[in-house]
Amino acid sequence: MMISNAIARRMRDLEQYAPMLTAPSDLDEFWSRTLERFKDKPLHSTIELETTPMRTVEVHRVTYEGFDDTPLSGWYIRPANVQGERLPCIVMYHGYTGSKGYPEEYAQWTALGYAVFAMDVRGQGGETGNHLASEFGMSAGWLSQNILDKEKFYYLAITIDALKAVQWVAEREDVDTQRIAVYGASQGGGLALITAALSDIPAVAVANIPNMCHMDFGILNSESSLKEAAQFVSRYPEHLQQVLQTLSYFDMLNLGDRIRIPLLVSCGLKDMVCLPETIFAAYNRIRANKQIAVYPFDGHYVGPYHTRRTMEFLQQHFG
Catalytic residue among 161, 251, 271, 298: 271
What HEC string does 42-94 produce? CCCCEEEEECCCCCCEEEEEEEECCCCCCCEEEEEEEECCCCCCCEEEEEEEC
Strand boundaries in the chain, DSSP class E:
46-50, 57-64, 72-79, 87-93, 115-119, 175-185, 204-208, 263-268, 290-295
Catalytic residue among 186, 222, 224, 225: 186
Cβ contacts of residue 104 below 8 Å, gap of 6+? 52, 53, 54
Strand boundaries in 120-246, DSSP class E:
175-185, 204-208
Catalytic residue among 94, 214, 300, 306: 300
Examine the residue annotation and report whether 13 is marked as an active-site residue of this protein.
Answer: no
Examine the residue annotation and report whether 60 is marked as an active-site residue of this protein.
Answer: no
Examine the residue annotation and report whether 306 is marked as an active-site residue of this protein.
Answer: no
Listed residue (161, 132, 122) closest to 38, CA to CA: 161
Q: Are 235 and 139 in contact (CB under 8 A)?
A: yes
Active site residues per annotation? 186, 271, 300
